[in-house]
């Protein structure tokens, strides 16, 4: 493991809402980390940790707009940008799934994701930026181990990209 802070906390709340937190320290400005997260080219590079060929379809990450997090075959997540404070905080509310290019917000598997949130917080430090990612909601059991294994890889890639000169 690289010489940087990687913190992982998994908590089960009393209301059965799963909360997963991931964090990494990056030797780069908040602006550079933000651009790395949300620029289409770099987003595709770090999101490939979840699935090769991942991409997002968005209206420039505008607050209140729909965003589709997709992989090959146009399958993935239907979400909404709940909040966007540039260089500080981005929050998504998941609404359902995309299956073969069609939105699904009503099936049982789609409803499992409905209302789940994914939040990105950037905190300026003396050495750069701390990036914190929080997922909260009824995260389907088969995805918990996947996220525990995959988020650290994705954050490593964000760090690598943001620290490039």
Which domains does the chain show, CATH number per domain?
Answer: 6-163 (3.30.530.20)
Strand ranges in 27-113 using DSSP code E only, listed in sequence order:
55-58, 66-70, 76-85, 89-99, 102-104
Q: How far apart are CA 37 and CA 32, in angstroms?
A: 9
Contact 122, 89 (CB under 8 A): yes
Answer whether 0.85 is exceeded by the pTM. yes
pLDDT per residue rounded down to tens, the chain (165 residues):
332 333 333 333 333 568 999 999 999 999 999 999 999 999 999 999 999 999 999 999 999 999 999 998 888 999 999 999 999 999 999 998 988 888 888 888 777 778 889 999 999 999 999 999 999 988 777 788 889 999 999 999 999 999 996
* Distance linking the first and last C-alpha atoms of the chain: 22
Q: Beta partners for 121?
A: 89, 132
């Amino acid at each position: 493991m690289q010489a940087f802070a990687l913190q992982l906390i998994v908590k089960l709340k009393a209301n059965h809402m799963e909360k997963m937190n991931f964090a990494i320290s990056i030797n780069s400005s908040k602006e550079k980390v933000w651009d790395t997260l949300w620029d289409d080219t770099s987003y595709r590079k770090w999101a490939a940790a979840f699935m090769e060929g991942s991409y997002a379809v968005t209206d420039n990450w505008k607050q209140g707009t729909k965003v589709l997090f997709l992989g090959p075959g146009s399958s993935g997540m239907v979400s909404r940008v709940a909040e966007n404070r540039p260089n500080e905080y981005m929050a998504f509310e998941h609404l359902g799934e995309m299956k073969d290019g069609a939105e699904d917000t009503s099936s049982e598997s789609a409803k499992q994701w409905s209302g789940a949130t994914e939040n990105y917080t950037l905190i300026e430090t003396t050495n750069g930026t701390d990036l914190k990612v929080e997922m909260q909601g009824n995260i389907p059991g088969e995805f918990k181990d996947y996220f525990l294994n995959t988020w650290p890889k994705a954050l490593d890639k964000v760090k690598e990209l943001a620290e490039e000169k």
